[in-house]
Structure 1
Amino acid sequence: MTDGIYTLANDQVYDQLVALLNSIEANVGVEMPVCVIAYDDRLDRVRAEIAQRPNVTLFEDPAVFARWEDFSRQVWQTHPFALERWRDQGIDGVYRLACNRRYAAFDEAAPFDRFIYFDADVLVLDSVDRIFQALDQADFAVYDFQYTDPGHIFNLDSPRLYEIFPPERVHSEIFCSGCFASKRGVFPPEQREWLVAQLASGEAEVLYLGAPNQSVLNYMRMRSNVSICNLALSLPEEQRTGNSVTSAHFERRDHRLYDHNKPLTYLHYIGLPSRLFRQVCEGENVTFPYRDLFLHYRYRHQPQERPLLEGKPRPYNQPPGFMQRVLNKLQLTR
């Protein structure tokens, strides 16, 4: 049985990808296979990076991607207004369709029997054995606190939501699609066809349009009754940690983070746009939480290339200045 780690990337998130790969190498080991799923064809820098790493491969099978993108289109064609609303917003087809390429990890042609998927904006900071061990007991394993915020998974205004999924399931089983573990073949073609039929019967209204891949993945797992283990709920309280960049209390020691003396398994820079990471790697002194930790892993093998961030620090979420507000207003009135 082959275990491995997947991520989804292109050249737009190159700096984050390098940091992720270096964090896996440092804290999991060079023996852990990693597979980068191609987000699109912008892969020149990604290919060059992978060529230097014996344990890393690139997954870019057009036939596999076509299967899952076609499934995603079928899913959203069942929704009463999603495609129309996205079209009104200037989006052609399914919003962020390429994000659904992460589903390729479930395909029979995928390389790993069991896998952990991490978004590229993640640093792995400790062993992932605990997550893989959870797959001995369940077909899905996660370690997050998304269950406290179901409004970013399902449409809470849908009267059908709690008819399909009891409230206790919604408030305990949902997860963030930026980190999850599962097994190849969990959603075979016949199961996908059945899921589309259920959505077409009226259930599609429970999906959340703001994060399509995340909503559909949660629906797929829950509607198929695939077993799940969330370590954020199953671990003893004295062993649990947070994992989100929005938590400001983590302590840094030896290039790792600790939550009240407990080591984090991973840190997710969720909600931070990829341009911030590019900007800081280009030398802009823009600040964001745990920036130095990101820079450590990004330049782990090239410390001499780490940018010197000079000048006054600028918070990434700093409100626009007066002149910028004027320019923004002029743009809006043109």
Structure 2
Amino acid sequence: MDAKADKNLHRLERKAIQEAEKRKKPGECMKYIQAIIDENLTNESIGSKILATANVAYKLVNSPIPRTIFWQRSIQQTLRGTNNEMCLDEKYQDENILLHVMTAVELNSYITSNKLRHRIVTIKSHYPDKELSLVIFGLKEYCRNNRANAGRFAFETALTELQLVYNISHRLLDTAEDVAQVFLQFNKSVAEKLYKKDRDEKISDQNFYLANDNKDCVQVKDNIGLTNLFKNHLCKFPSVTLDTAEAIIKEYPTLSKLIQAYQSNNENGPLLLAEIPIRRSGGPLISSRKIGAELSRRIHSFYTQSVPDFVLQ
């Protein structure tokens, strides 16, 4: 491979990594997910409502199990072509979520014939790598119009058994609009799964405080940002305004410098900050406005106290 082709390959690899991260973001990820819908659903009111949902990419297939829906994600790959030509290609990868719409008539039949578990095993055998969720459609109306049904207790027992034995969740829905809404919820959740997985890994265990995922977080890199972090921390004290925090930081730019000052002034530590003047934003220096003894003692107590259950007054 010549130098030009090698350079092009590295460029494409960097582009692929950037694109993969971009595709995880909420909103953007919706463009790269498509629902694989059993074409039998199009012949029912449920399917027409699902297909009418806006901004959802889908593909109709002849599924081995009627009224099933699963999802695929577009994965970008770096390909090495022939004749020193390289390009990025698209490939769809199956997600492990499967949604099956079961009618109330079917559910009642499976329960009365003791074949519900067998039906679930059959569905899972066709989709062994997917997590199955059930939508039970029209159960309320069916029970109202057909008194000779399995009964509420039998329905609840059977569905609870599926949840305990096969870890299958279910939703009881009465209208096609409700089914379409649940479909949208699944579609959004599947699309954002990678983003939320990365976010959860960031905030798990000791990484919780390193997530930097909201406006109150301060990014620190190579000691850059420590002053802003200290300022943000000081502002958490009651009655400490931004002006007050900046006045303290002018004397002690970082927390470590303040701690060192406390250690070298043990006797005067509680009043170390008391005489620091505060400059009002955009105004003159007011000599009569200072940190004060009370706030100085409170800050000193917080940063020097070693008793675990100490309550800051």
TM-score strictly above 0.5: no
Larger Rg: 2
**Higher relative strand content:** 2
TM-score range, shorter chain: under 0.3
**TM-score, length of structure 1 as denominator length:** 0.22
User: Structure with the greater relative contact order (CA < 8 A, sep ≥ 6): 1 or 2?
Assistant: 1
**TM-score, length of structure 2 as denominator length:** 0.23
